[in-house]
Amino acid sequence: AKRARETLATVLCDACEDGDLTILEAIDAAKSILRDNALQIYKVKQNVDSPEATLYSSQTNKLVKQPAQKTVLVRVMWVDTSGQHRCR
């Protein structure tokens, strides 16, 4: 599982660098793969919405309306079934 998450992160980062995906598309893809698939596999039917993702500039700590063109990394955060906060 760890290798799969690392591979997913690498693929999505490369796709963003190449201009094939925007940052928001990469986030949606990661959410679909990591979260939505798990909900479907484990047949979780209750509403488990997470707060909407927001983008912040690490330099100014202000909300970024449009992702910068030179974005190098995407951080994906989620809470697993044991309640642990995870980040990649």
User: pLDDT per position in the chain (88 positions), as tens?
Assistant: 788 888 898 899 888 888 898 888 998 898 888 888 888 888 887 665 555 545 544 444 444 445 556 666 777 878 888 888 888 8
25-45 as b/e: b if 16+ CB within 10 A: ebbebbeeebbeeeeeeeeee
CB 75 within 8 A of CB 54: no
**Which residue intervals of the chain are DSSP H helices?**
2-17, 23-30, 37-41
CB 37 within 8 A of CB 50: no
Query: Which are the contacts of 33, defined by CB distance < 8 A and separation ≥ 6?
Result: 8
